[in-house]
Amino acid sequence: MANKTSIVEYWDYVFVDLGDPRTNDWPLLGSPIPGLLILAAYLFFVLYAGPRYMANRKPYNLNNILVVYNAVQVYISVWIVWEALDAAWLKKYSCFRCEPVDWSVNPESMRIARGFYFYFLAKISELLDTVFFVLRKKDNQVTFLHLYHHTGMPMIAWGAAKYYPGGHGSFIGLVNSFVHIIMYTYYMLTAMGPEYAKYLWWKKYITTLQLVQFCMTFVHSMQLLFADCDYPKWSVCIVMPNAVFFYYLFMDFYRKAYNVSHERKRPVTIKGEKTE
């Protein structure tokens, strides 16, 4: 009984006492279990159940669904970028200094916290990217990079929304959501039919934009090593290694997809590496 009580007390300490009381009770934030169950179901479907189900079936034609889905993702990303700029980065935050979390309960700080929460929900909704790949039998697009991103980002976004919904970490969400505006616009136009292909010459630059994103994330997070603003320095142990890892994976993809020194370019679709 003593051990059981200790486990319960530790659980409450980590997932209740340490959490931001403003967001602790919001759906999916109170405990990590619902989110982990969603991710487990996601991985089970895309790695096992989905491919088995589609093994003897023709690919589904989901173009109409994809147009709507990508349009919704563009709208969500635009809204998050606007909220981040109007509530923080154009008014009270600076890219050139460390920014603390405003723990007060007022319209401005709650607006920022709400933006973090919707960013987390957006990462959950983006799991459908892979589901659509499986249903369209695009199994070659379910890569390590794709799965690593789609399982890792919801967990990171959950932690940010629960423990530190504001301050320095919001820069990542701002830049990432801006990239997603461009990225999901491209996917929406692609799903609208081959007649739009002539307008999609810029797909190569999406990967370039993503590489720039990781550099910006790395440099911005590095400020925490030299400044003290009541934002956890340990967060760099998560953000900076992931930024370097993603940069390496995307650069490897970019070289394979667009290296002009190859004798023959292989047709590679950026959507196959649909990540941040």
Write the pLDDT tens digit of every residue in 15-49. Answer: 999 999 999 999 999 999 999 999 999 999 999 99
Q: Which of 149, 150, 168, 220 is catalytic?
A: 149
Question: Which residues, including other chains, have CB under 8 Å from residue 172's CB and lie 6 or more apart?
Answer: 217, 220, 221, 239
3-state secondary structure of 129: helix
All residue ranges of the chain with pLDDT < 50 are 260-273, 275-276
The pLDDT tens digits for 165-197 are 999 999 999 999 999 999 999 999 999 988 888
Q: Does the annotation mark 149 as catalytic?
A: yes
Q: Which of these, 30, 209, 38, lies nearest to 126 by C-alpha position?
A: 38
